[in-house]
Amino acid sequence: MSWLHLLILAPFIFAIFVPFIYKKLNQRIHTGWFVLFIPLFLFIYLLTFIPKTSSGNTHIATLPWLPAYDINFTIYMDGLSLLFALIIAGIGALVVLYSIYYMSKHREALHNFYVYLLMFMGAMLGLVFSDNIFVLYVFWELTSVSSFLLIAYWYQREKSRYGAQKSMLITIFGGLAMLAGFIMLSMIADTYSVRTLISAETLNTNTLFIPAMILILIGAFTKSAQFPFSIWLPDAMEAPTPISAYLHSATMVKAGIYLVARLTPVFGGEAVWFWLVSGIGLITLLYGSVNAVRQTDPKALLAYSTISQLGLIMSLLGMGSGALYFGYGDESFVYAVAIFAAIFHLLNHATFKGSLFMVVGIIDHETGTRDIRKLGGLMHLMPITFTITVIGGFAMAGLPPFNGFLSKEMFFTAVLNTAEKSIFNLDTLGFLFPIIAWVASVFTFIYSMILVFKTFRRKQNFVRVDKEVHEAPIGMLLSPIILGILVVALFFFPNVASKYLLTPAWESVLPTLAGDLSVKISPWHGFNAELMMTIGVVVLGTVMYRFLKKWYGLYDYYPDSLTINHFYNLGLQSLETISEKTTNRYMTGFIRDYLVYIFAFIIVVVGGALWKYGGVTIDHPTDADVNIYEAGIIVAMVISAVTVLFSNSRITSVIAVGALGFLVSFLFVLFRAPDLALTQLVVETVTTVLFLLCFYHLPELRKEMSRIPFKITNALISIGVGAIVTIVALSANGTRLFDSISTYYEDSYKLAGAQNIVNAILVDFRGVDTMLEILVLTMAGLGVYTLIKLKSERRGKDEGAE
């Protein structure tokens, strides 16, 4: 196990100790101070790899997991994975520091909070470092599970549960689609390694290539909240603000971005990939920016702005994939710059959006409200918070001197260059790229101004009666201040980040062009089309913001019945209704009905398979002769079974069942299995006595209760399942595809040191199976005990309340 494996596992390992730390020390020291060490250490350790990756080197380490299936925990660190890991660990450290002052150690269940947070951090690190696609999938789904727990942290709130459920359903659906795509991709390339997939050739000639691409993109789009799967992100804002700042601005929502970037060398250069990634990205950009303007909750505004910014990054990755269509040369470089812009904006977005989420948390924490209509006049009361909001808001709007301006200008360059090309029918539809980008940027400018000025500059509308509103403590401000400094620093020193972080990541996305990629970032490019677009955004955005009340009512004309959320809720309600009706149809409460379904299923599936594939093979010559006394025992067994069915007395039925069991023991004796016969005799004796004791105290069986009406369906199913089982048994006996496994167990004394072969099979050969059965029973017992204890505690509380 390498240090990188320990780096990924460290959050999981430390999460085990968090509950004990919380229980012992939380009353004296906030649990977050102990947790802060983990992301801080990971971030510092990851910084040591920057010189290696910036030189074009990679790091690979393998830990065997399922070597028989070629599934190993292989870590692959290059420029792209290192950039994401630094964001995960760096933002994670700042979020933990922020949460120490945001989350009360007296009122919050911090042990749950930090366990979920560390689980998510480890899952994200495992996701970006995994080279095996199936290991990547495991971590991918683990991020969905841990984010579900984080979003539902305040599970007492209905909206928190609803948001967590929605995020889980949508992202898990996408994850399953992605898994199907991974399976197809592995079948095409005959490998599970991402590195091998990237270097493989002629994959696109396989008929499964496009279906695999689409399924994988569904997984990426659901995780990164792309249209129309973006509806889960706003509802996830019910989580505590530190969670929103971490999951929904810097990490989880970037997982889909990472997957698209990582697989661009595999699928890039294809028209389907280009149009799906860039087209869905632009639609998401426009959808998110238009909907952000109408929000009155700043967290909801930031949620839709996140959707919008993710769409921008996704569209850049799609446009940049055109570089692989040309291979090498100037044409390829023009497209490749879009990939660089995507990576640059990904870093910028993590800084300014993380700070803005934290600022919104500060406002909520100090004022007690997140309603923009009730806020205002906070500029003088909270000057540091206002300054951070201006930095983050203007960076989000794409204004200088902040980092968002640089990547936004590169975005404009990318859409203008794409519109001029002739590949993939861009000569007819390419003009839409700059139009959509510019319109979305206007709305981005508007919602950024709403966040900054309507929150801080207007007349104060709220009244906080429990305490005086003032600036947040420095501990809560420290994390957004650091991010705000990075926003400004990336504007003035972008080429430092470009050399050590952005370019290595860029070359990882386009390995065939590695070594030939170089971009010099400058805030001034002269009076060009990009600058004119920016000026147009500022002018029109300012006018529309000033007259917002004049046209804001246009949103009311769009009916709620046509929203994606409405269709989601309607679909979920329909599924619940169908499920309830279906369940009520077969969950009748009668064992007879359940047996009908089970036996009918056996007849249809097993009988159909035997008929379709010619599985009925009965070899009479190999069968042993049936002696007269064996036949007599069998006839007696049949008579005993029939007696149970038609008996009007419980005593008679019990005796008949016991007789059936004793007759079976006689067969064991005839077949030379005295130990089984002895066991059968003991069990039948005990159960018969117990039955007699129980039924002795029950009322007599009335005749009318014993008369069961004859049903042809039940008769057919009974005869059918009996015939199927008999045919299967005879066919299995007459068909020997492999040597009998019984010869292996004949050496039980040599293999297990046991003289009794039956005991050896049960105890030694099936030891793990038996242990798991005991484990299942133990878990079931603990579950029953827990339910009983909870019910008794609740009953005690109710009695105490009375």
Please write the tens of the pLDDT for every residue from 199-218.
887 788 889 999 999 999 99
In a shared domain, residues 663 and 710? yes
The answer to whether position 632 is within a domain reads: yes
In a shared domain, residues 693 and 760? no
Total number of domains in the chain:
3
Q: What are phi and psi of 459, to 5 degrees?
A: -65, 140
Q: Most confidently modeled of 93-102, 557-566, 767-776?
A: 93-102
In a shared domain, residues 760 and 716? no
Give the CATH number of the domain where residue 645 resides. 1.20.120
Residue range(s) defining the domain that contains residue 282: 3-546
Q: What are 86's two structure tokens?
A: 């630094």
Q: What is the mean pLDDT of the chain?
A: 87
**pLDDT at residue 465 in the model:** 46
Neighbours of 195 (CB within 10 A): 17
Q: Is 326 exposed, middle or buried (0-12, 13-18, 19+ CB in 10 A)?
A: middle
Longest dimension (CA), the chain: 107
Contact 294, 305 (CB under 8 A): no
Neighbours of 346 (CB within 10 A): 26
In a shared domain, residues 350 and 457? yes
Mean pLDDT of 756-778: 82
**pLDDT at residue 81 in the model:** 93
Write out pLDDT tens, residues 41-78.
Answer: 999 999 999 999 988 888 998 888 888 788 889 999 99
Residue 593 corresponds to which amino acid?
A: D
Residue 691 corresponds to which amino acid?
A: F
The answer to whether position 551 is within a domain reads: no
Is the per-residue pLDDT at 39 higher than 90?
Answer: yes
SS3 792: helix
In a shared domain, residues 719 and 765? no
Q: What are phi and psi of 315, to 5 degrees?
A: -65, -35
Task: Place 175 in a pLDDT band, splitting at 50, 70 and 90.
Answer: very high
The answer to whether position 148 is within a domain reads: yes
Is the per-residue pLDDT at 31 higher than 50?
Answer: yes
Mean pLDDT of 599-604: 90
**pLDDT at residue 516 in the model:** 66
Q: What percent of the chain has pLDDT over 90?
A: 44
**pLDDT at residue 520 in the model:** 86
In a shared domain, residues 128 and 35? yes
Is the per-residue pLDDT at 622 higher than 80?
Answer: no
Q: Which of 356, 314, 204 is nearest to 265 (CA)?
A: 204
523 vs 542: which has the higher pLDDT:
542
Write out pLDDT tens, residues 335-347.
Answer: 888 999 999 999 9
Is the per-residue pLDDT at 466 higher than 90?
Answer: no
The answer to whether position 274 is within a domain reads: yes
Is the per-residue pLDDT at 632 higher than 70?
Answer: yes
For residues 577 and 580, give the distance between their C-alpha atoms in angstroms, rounded to a whole number. Answer: 5
Secondary structure of the chain: what % helix, strand, coil (to 5)?
75, 0, 20
Which residues face 193 on adjacent strands?
132
Neighbours of 94 (CB within 10 A): 27
DSSP assignment of 728-771 equals HHHHHHH--SS--THHHHTTHHHHH--S-HHHHIIIIITHHHHH
Is the per-residue pLDDT at 420 higher than 90?
Answer: no
In a shared domain, residues 130 and 174? yes
378, 385, 390, 393 from 470: Cα distances, Å: 9, 10, 18, 21
In a shared domain, residues 658 and 759? no
Contact 192, 143 (CB under 8 A): no
For residues 165 and 173, give the distance between their C-alpha atoms in angstroms, rounded to a whole number. Answer: 12
**pLDDT at residue 328 in the model:** 60
In a shared domain, residues 391 and 522? yes
Is the per-residue pLDDT at 315 higher than 90?
Answer: yes
Global pTM reads 0.81
Q: Most confidently modeled of 317-321, 372-376, 739-743?
A: 317-321
Is the per-residue pLDDT at 703 higher than 70?
Answer: no
**pLDDT at residue 132 in the model:** 92
The answer to whether position 585 is within a domain reads: no
**pLDDT at residue 459 in the model:** 67
The answer to whether position 579 is within a domain reads: no
DSSP assignment of 54-90 equals HTT--EEEEEEEEGGGTEEEEEEE-HHHHHHHHHHHH
Write out pLDDT tens, residues 276-312.
Answer: 999 999 999 999 999 999 998 899 999 999 999 999 9
Lowest mean pLDDT among 193-207, 241-255, 558-572, 751-765: 751-765
Which residue is listed with tokens 């609740």?
794
The answer to whether position 567 is within a domain reads: no
DSSP state of 709: P
In a shared domain, residues 480 and 542? yes
Is the per-residue pLDDT at 704 higher than 60?
Answer: no
In a shared domain, residues 703 and 752? no
In a shared domain, residues 620 and 761? no
Tell me the H-state helices in 510-563.
Answer: 529-546, 548-551
Q: What are 754's two structure tokens?
A: 């046991």
**pLDDT at residue 796 in the model:** 64
Is the per-residue pLDDT at 464 higher than 70?
Answer: no
**pLDDT at residue 457 in the model:** 78
Of 546, 576, 610, which residue is a domain's last?
546
Which residues face 132 on adjacent strands?
193
Mean pLDDT of 223-238: 90
The answer to whether position 563 is within a domain reads: no
Mean pLDDT of 450-470: 72
Contact 548, 456 (CB under 8 A): no
